[in-house]
């Protein structure tokens, strides 16, 4: 199984268990901008406790690593994240519990289906919301890759980006003046 097949398997599993999700982060930026290398996919989920066992059994050892159910329950309570890792390639999917904030709720409502791989579309954050996330991560860590991703999105999808929405949420979330 290559990296893209692994990523697709995780997303298809989320859909199989009817777990609402959206691709964000670097892969979200690539869906709306320029490609770059990455070993992980960030996926925001609305995960119900009853579906945790299904996720765990869908990715068995030794081919995959998924944390024990108790760890996932703890992450669900704190609205944190956990990983699914493909052992052979070291590729990982970060499943991030949707934040219960005004922007966290709004961006999840705005998600839409986008081409991901040949014959498979996935739910993705809209470009404005990926940019807000990239600005947040840049503010936290200062990595230039986030600004490069934003630049690529503006270059490729600039005419499709709702700049008023972006400015409003940048102001609301304290990220104005970062781009």
Which pLDDT does position 118 carry in this prediction?
Answer: 86
Element (H, E) at 87: none
**Rounded Cα–Cα distance for residues 111 and 21 (Å):** 9
**Rounded Cα–Cα distance for residues 75 and 85 (Å):** 17
**Rounded Cα–Cα distance for residues 153 and 133 (Å):** 13
CATH code for residues 3-126:
3.30.460
Which pLDDT does position 177 carry in this prediction?
Answer: 61
**Alpha-carbon distances of 19 from 46, 78, 172, rounded to whole Å:** 6, 18, 28
Which pLDDT does position 15 carry in this prediction?
Answer: 96
Nearest to 41 by CA among 78, 76, 89: 89
**Rounded Cα–Cα distance for residues 10 and 7 (Å):** 5
- Per residue of the chain (179 residues), what is the pLDDT tens digit? 888 899 999 999 999 999 999 999 888 888 888 888 787 899 999 999 999 999 999 999 999 999 999 999 999 999 999 999 999 999 999 999 999 999 999 999 999 999 988 889 999 999 999 999 988 888 888 788 888 988 999 998 888 899 999 989 888 888 776 44
């Amino acid at each position: 199984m290559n990296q893209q097949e692994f990523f697709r398997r995780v997303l298809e599993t989320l859909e199989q268990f009817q777990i609402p999700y959206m691709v964000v982060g670097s892969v979200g930026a690539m869906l709306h901008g320029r490609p770059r290398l990455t070993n992980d996919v960030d996926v925001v989920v609305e995960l119900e406790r009853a579906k945790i066992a299904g996720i765990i059994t869908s990715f068995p050892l030794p081919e995959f690593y998924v944390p024990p159910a108790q760890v996932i329950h703890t992450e669900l309570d704190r609205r944190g994240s956990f990983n699914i890792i493909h052992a052979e390639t070291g590729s990982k999917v970060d499943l991030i519990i949707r934040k219960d904030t005004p922007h966290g709720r709004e961006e999840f409502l705005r998600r839409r289906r986008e081409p991901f791989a040949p014959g498979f579309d996935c739910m993705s954050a809209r470009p404005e919301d990926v940019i807000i996330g990239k600005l947040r991560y840049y503010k936290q860590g200062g990595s230039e890759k986030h600004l490069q991703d934003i630049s690529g999105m503006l270059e490729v999808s600039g005419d499709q980006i709702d700049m008023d929405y972006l400015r409003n949420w940048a102001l609301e979330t304290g990220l104005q003046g970062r781009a």
